[in-house]
Structure 1
Amino acid sequence: MPIIAQPAPGDAPTSSPPSPKPPVKSGGFEGGGKPAAPGSDGVPASGNGTFAVASGGTDVVGSGSKLIRYRVEVENGIPWGTNPVWSASKTAAEVDRVIAAPRGWTFSAQHPVTYGPNKISGASWRFQRVSGDGFDVRLRLATPKTVDKLCRAVGIDTEGVYSCRYGDTILLNLRRWLKGIPGQPASTDFHANTVNHEMGHFLGFDHMKCPGRGPAPIMQTQTIELNGCTLNNWPFTADGTFVQGPFASS
């Protein structure tokens, strides 16, 4: 879903992944005060705007050429009600699972990624979760109002629904985390979809379009339209093919 105009990409790939892209929306901050009541769908509307960091960390996962250190955080003060409680440790375990999955971004070690529109050539990544300040990117699970406010501050309208990525921060919208999307509830591994998509933005990818048929690229905005593709939660197919499509400005 384009919201920030960007120049047309060049055709010639470079030998290394680009620096992280400008802010993108994929898919309100009540500083102090009481959390807002849940929305009509039962999703808690807001927490207190501060975040708890998941303790500990993981060994390095994968053998790609570039190490990505990530930290996982969950907003404090969320009135969970009847919803499952996603503590920082539980959320970190879920993110770790997605990162380490066979068809996740670590598969790039065996199948390096080249994507000309974003000048990415022969790229591969390995990952490690950390809990200190030495992270490359942090993933924050946050309520819709908190996501809206933090993303709006960098010019992104997330509309109470979408996630976004800016700088070294990925904001995962609690509404999507709890509910998924029509046709793919959270219970069908939509978590993998949103984590892989947002991590893809951090790795340097813009949005992609459906190539016409088959599994959707993970960088396609599948939450909005499929355009002939089928839902897909992973960057790679089982045989190691990186699923890609035409460039779409993010």
Structure 2
Amino acid sequence: MSPSPTTPPRVPASGPGTFTVARAGASSGGGNAYRVEVEDGSGVDPDAAAALIADVLAAPRGWAHAGARSFHQVAGGPAGLVIRIATPATTDRVCATGAMDTHGEVNCRLDEVVMVNLKRWQTGSPEFHGPLADYRALIVNHEVGHWLGHGHETCPGKGRPAPAMMQQIYGLKGCVSNAWPYDTHGTYLGGPSAR
């Protein structure tokens, strides 16, 4: 007997614009303090999302590779980085304050705030070939990469891993889907600057 197809998650188009802060996993550790917030009514558990984000930020192939930097989640007090998962309408509204048109489809970063579009978090991207968990890792790595000062990059050559700083949702240009800034040997998976 074959498994039944999975029903795609319900993604509300808009929400109240209020957020619940993830509390599980918060610590007073060193490194870059960040907070995870999830829009109310989105259907995403803030603590579960925060656990996934913490794994991405601590991954050896991520921005913490080889001890280059560390991150710790906070639930209150100052945070130099705030990662918000929000409905498409809320994401659009917040991103528009920075003159970015996200078309109900994509994420953005405004100073210390990363806006993760709920649609992308829940359904991935048709351009990304891999599991949803990998696409979520790409979202985190791409937007945190901007927060760290990295600009957009493009495909370095046919068949090579797409840079995490490439806007992979708009097509891979001959590269293969990739969620991580570094390979397993610690080599940066970059590409030419995209203007």
TM above 0.5: yes
Q: How far off is 1:97 after superposition? A: 1.4
Tell me if structure 2 keeps the 8 A contact 1:179–1:186: no
Equivalent pairs, count: 184
Q: How far off is 1:188 after superposition? A: 4.7
Matched, 1:98 2:56: yes
Q: What's the counterpart of residue 73 of structure 1?
A: 37
Sequence identity, in percent? 42
Q: What's the counterpart of residue 47 of structure 2?
A: 89
User: TM-score if structure 1 supplies the norm length?
Assistant: 0.69
Q: AA paired with 1:232?
A: N
User: What's the CA shift string for 1:172-197, capped at 9, x where partnerless?
Assistant: 00000010011436635211010110
Tell me if structure 1 keeps the 8 A contact 2:95–2:101: yes
Q: What's the counterpart of residue 194 of structure 1?
A: 139
Q: What is the root-mean-square deviation of aligned Cα atoms in Å?
A: 1.8
**Structure 1 segments unaligned to the other structure (5+ residues):** 1-40, 62-66, 79-84, 110-123
The structure showing larger relative contact order (alpha-carbon pairs under 8 Å, at least 6 residues apart) is 1
Q: How far off is 1:102 after superposition? A: 2.1
Q: What's the counterpart of residue 156 of structure 1?
A: 100
| Residue of 208, 216, 223 corresponding to 2:153 | 208
Tell me if structure 1 keeps the 8 A contact 2:130–2:177: no
**Structure 2 segments unaligned to the other structure (5+ residues):** 1-8
Q: AA paired with 1:77?
A: G
Q: How far off is 1:224 after superposition? A: 0.6
Q: How far off is 1:58 after superposition? A: 4.0
Tell me if structure 2 keeps the 8 A contact 1:176–1:186: no
Look at both structures and tell me which one has the larger radius of gyration over its CA atoms.
Answer: 1
Alpha-carbon separation, structure 1, partners of 2:66 and 2:28? 18
Matched, 1:133 2:77: yes
Query: Which sits farther off after the overlay, 143-152 or 222-231?
Result: 222-231
User: What's the CA shift string for 1:194-216, capped at 9, x where partnerless?
Assistant: 01100000000010011113101
User: What's the CA shift string for 1:118-172, capped at 9, x where partnerless?
Assistant: xxxxxx3211111112111000000000000110121000000100001110000
Q: Secondary structure at the match of 2:50?
A: helix
Runs of 4+ displaced beyond 3 Å: 58-61, 183-186
The 1:188/1:93 distance shift into structure 2, 3 A limit, reads closer
Q: How far off is 1:68 after superposition? A: 1.5
Whichever structure has more helix as a proportion of its residues is: 2
Alpha-carbon separation, structure 1, partners of 2:181 and 2:29? 19
Alpha-carbon separation, structure 1, partners of 2:186 and 2:123? 30
Alpha-carbon separation, structure 2, partners of 1:69 and 1:184? 31
